[in-house]
Amino acid sequence: MAREEAHRPPGQATGLVPEPDPPVRVRSHAIGCIGAGMIMADVQLVAYREAGFPVVAIASRNPAHASAVAARHGIGTVHRTPRELIADERVEIVDIAFPPDRQPELVRLALRQPHVKAVLAQKPLALTLAEAVALRDEAAATGTVLSVNQNMRYDQSVRVLGQLLEAGILGDPVFASIDMRAVPHWQGFLAGYERLTIANMSVHHLDALRYLFGEAVEISTMGRPDPRTAFPHSDGIVVSSIRFASGVLASSIEDVWAGPRSGRAAPADYIRWRVEGTDGIAEGTLGWSADAPSTLRYMSPTATVGEWITPTWTGKWFPQAFIGVMEQLQFAVETGREPALSIDDNLRSLALVEAAYRSLREARVVRLSEFDDAVGAVRGRDR
C-alpha cells in the first residue's frame, strides 16, 4: 500500500529535477501580431511581455481593437490591415491568431516576404488536411519556418509528465486518459464550420498524447451534439480511444456539456489526466478551466518507495505556456534548427484529428496509415 503523500522537495526521491517551464534562450527576433481577440490580447501578448519578446507591430480586422490592445501592451505600431503588417520589413516572425478559414491566405502572403523568417499559426492550420499539407510544402519551398501553436505541450504538468516518462520513473506506460468536464467559450466564427469539439478541444488532447507516447496506430471516436450549443455541429460531446505503436492505450473525453448550469451552484468543471505504467502512476489536472496552475503527482513502488511526490510551480497553462511556444520558434530562427512545434509533426496531429472525424462519420475504427500517403513521414521531436 502506498504511504501518505510526501511533501519533500520535488525530485528528492527519484533524482529528477522537474523543469515545468523551458528556459528562454532567445528573445531577439521582432514579432508582428495579427489578431486582437482574447487569445492574443489576454494570453499571448501577456506571455510575450513577461518573457521580454519584442513585439513591434499589431493588426486585426478591426483597427480600433488593435489600437486598444497596442495601448494596453505598449506596442508601438498599429497597422490598418494584416497585409500592411506582413509587409512591414521590421517583422521577422508573423504571429497569426485568425479563424482557420482565413489563416491560409495570410500564411501564404507571409511566406512570400523575404524579410519574414518564420510564421506561427493557430491550430488547426487549415480546414482541410490537404490545404495544411500544401502550406507545409510552400513553406519548405521558401525556406520559411512554419510552426503551429500546440500550446498544451507547454503546460507545466504535461512537460513534467514527459520528463517522468523519459526518465523511466513510471516504467513502460500502459494506459493513459484525459477527462475534460468543462464548458468552453466557443468563438463566434465556429458557428459556420459544422466541426466543433474535435477540431477545437480534442486537438489539444490528441496532440499532447502524441507528444507523450509517439505515433498513433488507430482511433475510434464516438460523439453526439451538445444540447447547449445552438448552432449545427456533429461533434459536441466526444469520446475517443487511441492505440499507439508503443502499445499504449489511451482515452480522451471532451464533455463540453458538463451538466446543466445553475446560478445557485458553482459548476464543478475540471480537466484531469492519468498515466499508468508498469512501475508507477502519475495523475494531475490542467488548470485552464479553473484559472489555476496545473497539478501533478506521481508514485512508483521502486523509484519513490511507494510515496506520492508532488512537484509544484507558479506558472499556468494560460498564459505561461505561450512563452514556450514563441520561444521554440525564436530558437529555431536563431539556430536554423527544426522547431519543436514543426509543421511536419503537426500534420500528424492534424491527421489524428481527421481520423477521429472519419471514425465518427463512418462509425468504425480508423487506422492512421490511411493518411500516410497524404502526410508523409514525421520527423523526430524535441521536448
Per residue in 236-277, pLDDT tens?
999 999 999 999 999 999 999 999 988 766 678 999 999 999
Above pLDDT 70, what percent of the chain?
Answer: 94
Pairing label, strands 31-34, 55-59: parallel
CA distance 304 to 6: 9
What confidence score (pLDDT) does residue 266 get? 63
- Could you tell me where the beta strands, DSSP code E, fall in 41-104? 55-59, 77-78, 93-96
Chain centroid to CA 65:
25
What confidence score (pLDDT) does residue 378 get? 45
Q: What is the mean pLDDT of residues 99-107?
A: 96
Question: pLDDT tens-digit profile of 4-28?
Answer: 334 444 444 567 899 999 999 999 9
Of the pLDDT bands very low, low, confident and very high (cuts 50, 70, 90), residue 283 is very high
Is residue 205's pLDDT more than 80? yes
Identify the structural domains of the chain with CATH numbers, from first to last. 31-150 (3.40.50.720), 152-317+340-375 (3.30.360.10)
CA distance 383 to 375: 22
* Cβ contact 198:353 at 8 Å: yes
Cell readout for 376 is 508523409
Question: pLDDT tens-digit profile of 296-342?
Answer: 999 999 999 999 999 999 999 999 999 999 999 999 999 999 999 99
- Could you tell me where the beta strands, DSSP code E, fall in 245-363? 249-255, 270-277, 280-285, 295-299, 308-309
Of the pLDDT bands very low, low, confident and very high (cuts 50, 70, 90), residue 29 is very high
Pairing label, strands 270-277, 173-181: antiparallel
Of the pLDDT bands very low, low, confident and very high (cuts 50, 70, 90), residue 152 is very high
Of the pLDDT bands very low, low, confident and very high (cuts 50, 70, 90), residue 119 is very high
Of the pLDDT bands very low, low, confident and very high (cuts 50, 70, 90), residue 60 is very high
State the Rg of the chain over Cα. Answer: 21
Q: Which amino acid is at 78?
A: V
What confidence score (pLDDT) does residue 265 get? 64
Question: What's 200's DSSP letter?
Answer: I
> In degrees, to the nearest 5, what angle opens at C-alpha 326 toward C-alphas 318 and 215?
85
CA distance 378 to 321: 24
Is residue 289's pLDDT more than 90? no
CA distance 51 to 321: 11
Of 306, 218, 269, 207, give the one whose Cα is nearest residue 1: 306
CA distance 164 to 280: 10
Look up the pTM and report it. Answer: 0.93
